[in-house]
């Protein structure tokens, strides 16, 4: 019975992994982030080394940051982003959420479908990144 319990725990660890394994980046601050722009107090950055183009479709690792909140709420997102420049669509891929003081909070691996931008920051990223030529 004890061996069966160990096998279950081992399976859970392999399936779920540690929080560090689940993150897109082991250290979000190790990347040379390039600022793309801001919408209000929310600033957007990209990892230029992650930028890939396939025709009119771009994929990139982006970071969005707001000023810290008094209650240490989530103020930073790091996400894989897909942009369809011709159709002006955007999809959020895997993403990590951070708090200023507490650090890494959680990950989401839900892959979004390409759709029209749902906030001004997505429109900003479409405008700025789609203007880049390979």
- 22-61 pLDDT, tens digit per residue, is 677 777 677 899 999 999 999 999 999 999 999 999 999 9
The pLDDT assigned to 30 comes to 78
The answer to whether the beta carbons of residues 117 and 74 sit under 8 Å apart is: no
Q: Which domains are delineated in the chain?
A: 34-131 (2.40.128.710)
C-alpha 12/C-alpha 23 separation (Å) is 17
C-alpha 25/C-alpha 78 separation (Å) is 8
Summarised one tens digit per residue, pLDDT across range 94-129 is: 999 999 888 888 888 878 899 999 989 999 999 999
CA distances to 11, 58, 59 from 50, in Å: 32, 10, 8
The answer to whether the beta carbons of residues 114 and 84 sit under 8 Å apart is: yes
The answer to whether the beta carbons of residues 28 and 74 sit under 8 Å apart is: no
Burial of 45 (0-12, 13-18, 19+ CB in 10 A): buried
């Amino acid at each position: 019975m004890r061996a069966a319990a160990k096998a279950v725990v081992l399976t859970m660890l392999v399936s779920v992994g540690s929080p560090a394994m689940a993150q897109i980046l082991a250290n979000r601050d190790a990347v040379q982030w390039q600022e793309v722009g801001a919408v209000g107090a929310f600033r957007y950055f990209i990892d230029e080394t992650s930028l890939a183009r396939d025709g009119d479709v771009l994929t990139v690792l982006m970071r969005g940051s707001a000023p810290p909140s008094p209650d240490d709420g989530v103020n930073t997102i790091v996400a894989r982003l897909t942009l369809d420049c011709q159709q002006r669509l955007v999809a959020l891929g895997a993403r990590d959420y951070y708090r200023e003081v507490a650090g890494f909070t959680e990950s989401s691996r839900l892959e979004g479908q390409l759709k029209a931008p749902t906030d001004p920051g997505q429109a900003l990223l479409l405008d700025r990144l789609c203007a880049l030529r390979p």
